């Protein structure tokens, strides 16, 4: 009897195993090179079903689907494949092609909801991990410098220029939350390490309708990695010119609804010097540490909580030459920067039509710097700066049928600054409400409308509307257009700065302080001449703009994609620096006021072409026309003069005027990617061109109007090689600026540099 029972149990177990094996289909997902694609997803319509594991495998339960069921297999950086369950049974291997121009990527920054680039009626570009890696980048500035229409500018750090507008007007986000800590309006891109970045979303055009201030030119959203496997561990290291050392590691764990991801990076460099004839470096030596921790928990099917935190710490040192009395002396400089971000969020999805997200961000940014005379250690200058930013926001997304999505957000933010250069602790408060409606009335039309209202304690209220639309003439050709308003509020520096450069002898006052500041200097007998009535200064108005973007996406063939964008930005109440008074030491007192109307307009073109599985080509070109309308009016009225080659004074004509300083009319890039299939080596060869631009006012008439005021154009060639091994090890090497093309006015270009690196996935290595 006992033998019969055991026999029956074993028979049932064998039958169940056979049945289970027959119902479970193991599908291998690979790229065209035969390498497994990790972390892909399997969808059925809009429903996400399964996740591809780190070996490129996904298990499909055949009992749950009919043979005719169509599944979409998708992975970041690759084109999605639609395939039936029956086809997978016949051939359980799926090969995904690398995405041509990232048209199949899903982005968050454009609408604050997940949308495919292909369906967005606005210009967006996505840089995947692979695209970031092929640049050989150590810091974020290295990545963005190679993108069409983006320029690096050296002004209190390495800043960014987009559509002819400076870093002041570009909002930098980390995982959707704003990063603060700007010096002179510039967010230093070198503060961001790249080895833990999953993708970068670049949204062009004013985005104040959903993001508020600082998004007049566009948004750069940096999406860092999240945990998608049960257990992962990775270490990476790079070494390059100027003793640049980039070391990092990451570890992750996921189980029972918990997700944990940790990252650490250490970066150090000796900097570089483009002017060896003078003391000090163009880029100071520094070392920086970045640590990030992400923690998430799924509470059933409806609730999810997340906590993301980041810590950045940087220390630098350098020397400078200055004067003390009538003698030239050496001074030692040192300083530090620290950035702490804490971002908790709670998501609640009570039904498939409703989604609520409550998010908060707290950011603390502070800097400390001191400059002392080497001979006796006396202070030449010392400065402390501390900025705190707090924002709480509730976003509600409601699906209206199959074709409409309504998003409503409400929030409040508090910002405080305490610094050596400011009087007391200064605080700004702002509340806002934004509405957005996404509508696909037909298969051909896609429309996004929205508006945001901001109320600020300093400049009052502001409403920023935007409408974007796309029309698909066919699956291969679509046209997009958007028009919207942007704004930028005055910052603490422009309103409340109280600064005296003791080494040079000039003063800078915020608009709210300049009248009292000049009065004190007059009492001290330091003012030689009043250039502008200080009483004309005071509360600044927010800068605002209207912008128009339009262009097309044309998939000429399966392997050829063309994208264009034509734009025009018209900015009013531009905040400019103005000389208020001349001092008895021949220096000046400066402040800020609303003056100019500025126009930037141009076109951007990207062409991507793929040849088989081994070759990929891309070409980018950007044309920019920038102008100050007040200057043009002055030229027309005969108010501007210059001297010709015969030293004769002549009036400046409109043909002489070169627009805004530090803007290249022409720029572009050409890129060639090649995969050598026998060795498995990937090559990325890039050529980056920046045309000539105005570097400064040589003839003293305050505008760009003479050939001597232009810096020459520069064409740089970069080469990167990398190879991935099946055991999780990846090696890379490369050289940037092979021909050592230099421009003495471009402090972001150190000349020819080399690097070598290795990345190792420990869980793959020891599997």
Together in a domain, 205 and 133 = yes
Sequence-separated (6 or more) residues with CB below 8 Å from residue 557: none
Mean per-residue pLDDT, 254-280: 92
- Give first-to-last CA distance, the chain, whole Å: 45
In a domain, 553, yes or no: yes
Domain containing 26 equals 2-96
CB atoms within 10 A of CB 242: 16
For residues 119 and 186, membership in a common domain is answered with: yes
Q: Higher model confidence: residue 417 or residue 14?
A: 417
Structural tokens at position 487 = 């704004």
Q: What pLDDT shows up at residue 324? A: 80
Q: How far apart are CA 424 and CA 416, in angstroms?
A: 11
* Cα→Cα distances 621→149, 240, 603, 618, 743, Å: 7, 30, 8, 10, 21
690, pLDDT greater than 50: yes
Helix (H, G, I), strand (E, B) or coil at 398: strand
Which residue in 209, 208, 219 sits closest to 162, CA to CA?
219
Separation CA 336–CA 205 (nearest Å): 34
Phi, psi for 755 (deg, rounded to 5) = -155, 160
Which three-class secondary structure state does DSSP give residue 678?
coil
- Rounded CA-CA distance 227/224 in Å is 10
Same domain, 398 and 520: yes
DSSP label at residue 26: E
Say if CB 597 and CB 629 are below 8 A apart. Answer: yes
Inside any domain, residue 538: yes
Residues 390 and 458 in one domain: yes
DSSP 376: T
Q: What is the pLDDT of residue 163?
A: 95
Please state, in angstroms and rounded to a whole number, the distance separating the CA atoms of residues 432 and 451.
11
Residues 48 and 124 reside in one and the same domain: no
Backbone φ and ψ for 64, nearest 5 degrees, come out as -85, -10
Query: Counting Cβ atoms within 10 Å, is residue 84 exposed (0-12), middle (13-18) or buried (19+)?
Result: middle
Determine, yes or no, domain membership for 642: no
Going from the C-alpha of 469 to that of each of 119, 448, 472, 732, the distances in angstroms are 10, 6, 10, 42
Note the pLDDT of residue 16. 44
Instruction: Give pLDDT, residue 204.
Output: 92
Q: Check residue 340 and report its DSSP letter.
A: E
Quote the strand ranges of 241-353, DSSP E: 244-255, 258-269, 286-299, 303-324, 327-351
Domain boundary among 504, 538, 558: 558
Q: What is the mean pLDDT of residues 173-193?
A: 90
- Whether 583 maps to a domain, the answer reads no
Report the share of the chain in percent with pLDDT over 70: 95
- pLDDT for 21: 44
User: Rounded to an integer, what distance in angstroms lies between the CA atom of residue 140 and that of residue 118?
Assistant: 25
Q: Which two tokens stand for residue 479?
A: 């046209």
Burial of 237 (0-12, 13-18, 19+ CB in 10 A): middle
- Residue 740 CB neighbour total at 10 angstroms: 12
Tally the domains of the chain. Answer: 2
Shared-domain flag, residues 352 and 466 = yes
DSSP 97: P
> Could you tell me if residue 166 is inside a domain?
yes
pLDDT of 10 above 60: no
Given a cut of 60, is residue 103 above it in pLDDT?
A: no
Is residue 484 over pLDDT 60?
A: yes
Give kind and range of the element (H or E) at residue 23.
Answer: helix 2-23
Residue 551: its H or E element: strand 543-557
Is residue 45 located within the same domain as residue 135? no
The mean per-residue pLDDT over the stretch 398-426 comes to 90
Does residue 707 belong to any structural domain of this protein?
A: no
The CA dihedral of 99, 108, 601, 511, to the nearest 10 degrees, is -150
| Residue of 759, 765, 762 whose CA lies nearest to 730 | 759
Count of other CB atoms within 10 angstroms of residue 611: 11
**149-167 tens-digit pLDDT:** 999 988 778 899 999 998 8
* Matching residue, tokens 């799926």: 94
pLDDT of residue 46: 61
- Residue 270 CA to residue 281 CA, distance in Å, equals 9
| End-of-domain residue from the set 507, 532, 558 | 558
Cα–Cα distances (Å) from 591 to 199, 301, 509, 566, in that order, read 40, 56, 5, 35
pLDDT at 93: 84
What is the C-alpha to C-alpha distance for residues 749 and 755, in angstroms, rounded to an integer? 16
Q: Distance between CA 48 and CA 80 in Å, rounded?
A: 13
Tokens 């209202």, residue located: 453
Please provide residue 176's backbone torsions phi and psi, each rounded to the nearest 5 degrees. Answer: 85, -5
Q: Would you call 708 helix, strand, or coil by DSSP?
A: helix
Read off the tokens for 447.
């429309």
Share of the chain above pLDDT 90, in %: 49
Kindly give, in sequence order, each residue whose CB lies less than 8 Å from that of residue 105, ignoring residues fewer than 6 positions away. Answer: 76, 77, 99, 116, 117, 126, 128, 199
In contact, 139 and 184? CB cutoff 8 Å: no
Compute the distance between CA of residue 764 and CA of residue 55 in angstroms, rounded to an integer: 9
Does residue 18 have a pLDDT over 50?
no
CA distance 160 to 79: 30
Instruction: Indicate if the pLDDT at residue 392 is higher than 80.
Output: yes
Residue with more model confidence, 392 or 77: 392
63 vs 271: CA distance, rounded Å: 61
Contacts 24+ apart (CB under 8 A), 91-97: 92/25, 92/26, 92/27, 92/28, 93/27, 93/28, 93/30, 94/27, 94/28, 94/29, 94/30, 95/30, 95/31, 95/32, 96/29, 96/30, 96/31, 96/32, 96/37, 96/40, 97/31, 97/32, 97/610
Lowest mean pLDDT among 256-265, 494-503, 729-738: 494-503
For residues 7 and 137, membership in a common domain is answered with no
Convert the pLDDT of each residue in 313-370 to its tens digit.
999 999 888 878 778 888 899 999 999 999 999 999 999 899 999 999 999 999 998 9
Mean pLDDT across the stretch 38-52? Answer: 71
Q: Cα separations (Å) of 594 from 182, 406, 487, 512, 707? A: 20, 37, 13, 13, 29
212 and 432 Cβ atoms separated by less than 8 Å:
yes
Sheet with 41-44: list strands edge to edge: 47-51, 41-44, 70-74, 81-84
**Are residues 66 and 163 both part of a single domain?**
no
Confidence of residue 397 (pLDDT cuts 50, 70, 90): very high
Which helix (H) or strand (E) covers residue 518, if one does? helix 514-523
**Residues contacting residue 520 through CB under 8 Å, at least 6 positions apart:** none
The arithmetic mean of pLDDT across residues 24-37, rounded, is 80
The pLDDT, as a whole number, for residue 305 is 96
In CATH, what number is assigned to the domain containing residue 471?
Answer: 2.170.130.10
Taking Cα atoms as reference points, which of 511, 662, 517 lies closest to residue 593?
Answer: 511
What average pLDDT does the structure give for the chain? 88
Assigned token pair, 298: 């799924």
Q: Same structural domain for residues 71 and 16?
A: yes
- Block residue for tokens 């010097």: 273
Q: What angle do CA 423, 426, 432 make, to 5 degrees?
A: 160
Return the CATH number at 69: 2.60.40
13 pLDDT band (50/70/90 cuts)?
very low
Regarding whether 164 and 23 lie in a shared domain, the answer is no
Residue 41 in tokens: 């997803």
The last residue of a domain, from among 558, 573, 596:
558
Q: Are 60 and 42 in contact (CB under 8 A)?
A: yes
**192 within a domain of the structure (yes/no):** yes
Q: Does the pLDDT of residue 751 top 70, yes or no?
A: yes
Q: pTM score, two decimals?
A: 0.88
How far apart CA 217 and CA 67 sit, in angstroms, is 49
Q: Is residue 449 part of a domain?
A: yes
Residue 174, CA distances (Å) to 161, 168, 314, 567 in order = 18, 17, 18, 26
Q: Mind listing the pLDDT tens digit for each residue in 540-563?
A: 888 899 999 999 999 999 899 999
What confidence tens digit (pLDDT) does each residue in 421-438 have?
787 788 999 999 999 999
Q: Is the pLDDT of residue 574 over 90?
A: no
**CB-based contact 464:209 (threshold 8 Å):** yes
Answer yes or no: is pLDDT of 102 > 70: no
Tokens of 415: 């910002």
Same domain, yes or no, for 502 and 396?
A: yes
């Amino acid at each position: 009897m006992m033998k019969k029972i055991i026999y029956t149990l074993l028979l049932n177990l064998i039958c169940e195993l056979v049945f289970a094996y027959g119902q479970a289909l193991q599908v291998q997902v690979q790229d065209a090179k035969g390498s497994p694609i990790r972390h892909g997803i399997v969808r059925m319509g809009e429903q996400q079903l399964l996740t591809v594991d780190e070996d490129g495998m996904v298990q499909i339960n055949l009992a749950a689907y009919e043979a005719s069921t169509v599944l979409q297999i998708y992975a970041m950086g690759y084109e999605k494949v639609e395939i039936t369950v029956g086809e997978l049974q016949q051939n359980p291997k799926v090969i995904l092609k690398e995405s041509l121009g990232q048209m199949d990527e899903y982005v968050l920054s454009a609408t604050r909801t997940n949308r495919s680039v292909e369906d967005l009626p606005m210009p967006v570009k996505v840089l995947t991990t692979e695209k970031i890696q092929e640049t050989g980048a150590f810091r974020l500035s290295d990545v963005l410098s190679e993108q069409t229409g983006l320029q690096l500018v050296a002004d209190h750090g390495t800043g960014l220029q987009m559509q002819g507008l400076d870093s002041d007007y570009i909002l930098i986000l980390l995982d959707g939350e704003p990063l603060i800590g700007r010096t002179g309006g510039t967010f230093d891109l070198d503060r961001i390490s790249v080895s833990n970045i999953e993708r970068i979303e670049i949204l062009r055009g004013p985005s104040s309708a959903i993001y508020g201030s600082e998004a007049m030119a566009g948004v750069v959203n940096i999406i860092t990695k999240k945990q998608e496997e049960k257990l992962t561990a990775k270490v990476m290291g790079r070494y390059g010119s100027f003793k640049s050392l980039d070391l990092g590691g990451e570890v992750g764990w996921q189980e029972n609804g918990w997700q944990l991801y940790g990252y650490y990076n250490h970066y150090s460099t000796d900097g570089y010097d483009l002017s060896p004839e003078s003391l000090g470096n163009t880029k100071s030596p520094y070392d920086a540490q970045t640590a990030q921790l992400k923690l998430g928990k799924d509470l059933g099917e409806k609730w999810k909580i997340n906590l993301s935190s980041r810590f950045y710490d940087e220390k630098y040192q350098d020397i400078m030459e200055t004067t003390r009395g009538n003698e030239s002396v050496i001074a030692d400089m040192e300083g530090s920067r620290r950035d702490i971000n804490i971002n908790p969020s709670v998501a609640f999805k009570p039904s498939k039509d409703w989604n609520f997200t409550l998010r908060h961000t707290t950011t603390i940014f502070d800097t400390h710097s001191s400059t002392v005379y080497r001979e006796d250690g006396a202070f030449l200058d010392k400065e402390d700066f501390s900025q705190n930013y707090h924002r709480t926001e509730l976003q509600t997304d409601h699906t209206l049928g199959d074709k409409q999505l309504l998003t409503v957000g409400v929030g409040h933010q508090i910002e405080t600054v305490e610094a050596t250069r400011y009087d007391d602790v200064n605080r700004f408060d702002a509340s806002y409400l934004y509405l957005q409606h996404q509508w696909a009335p037909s298969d051909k039309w896609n429309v996004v409308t929205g508006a945001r209202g901001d109320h600020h304690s300093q400049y009052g209220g502001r409403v920023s509307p935007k409408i974007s639309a796309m029309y698909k003439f066919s699956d291969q050709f679509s046209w997009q257009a958007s028009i919207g308003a942007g704004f930028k509020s005055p910052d603490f520096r422009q309103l409340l700065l109280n600064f005296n450069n003791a080494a040079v002898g000039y003063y800078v006052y915020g608009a709210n302080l300049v009248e009292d500041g000049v009065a004190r200097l007059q009492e001290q007998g330091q003012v030689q001449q009043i250039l502008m009535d200080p009483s004309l200064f005071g509360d600044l108005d927010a800068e605002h703009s209207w912008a128009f973007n339009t262009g097309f996406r044309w998939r000429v063939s399966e392997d050829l994609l063309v994208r264009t964008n034509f734009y025009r930005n018209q900015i009013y109440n531009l905040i400019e620096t103005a000389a208020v008074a001349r001092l008895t030491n021949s220096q000046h007192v400066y402040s800020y006021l609303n003056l100019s109307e500025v126009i930037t307009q141009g076109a951007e073109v990207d062409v991507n072409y793929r040849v088989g599985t081994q070759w990929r080509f891309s070409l980018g070109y950007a044309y920019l026309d920038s102008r100050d309308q007040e200057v043009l009016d002055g030229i027309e009225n005969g108010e501007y003069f210059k001297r010709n080659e015969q030293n004769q004074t002549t009036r400046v004509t409109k043909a002489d005027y070169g627009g805004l300083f530090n803007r290249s009319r022409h720029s572009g890039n050409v890129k060639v990617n090649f995969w050598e299939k026998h060795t498995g080596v990937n090559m990325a060869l890039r050529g980056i061109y920046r045309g000539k631009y105005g570097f400064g006012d040589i003839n003293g008439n305050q505008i760009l109007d003479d050939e001597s005021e232009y810096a020459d154009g520069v064409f740089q060639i970069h080469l990167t090689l990398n190879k991935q091994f099946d055991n999780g090890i990846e090696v890379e090497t490369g050289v940037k600026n092979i021909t050592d093309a230099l421009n003495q006015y471009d402090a972001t270009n150190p000349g020819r540099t080399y690097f070598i690196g290795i990345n190792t996935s420990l869980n793959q290595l020891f599997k």
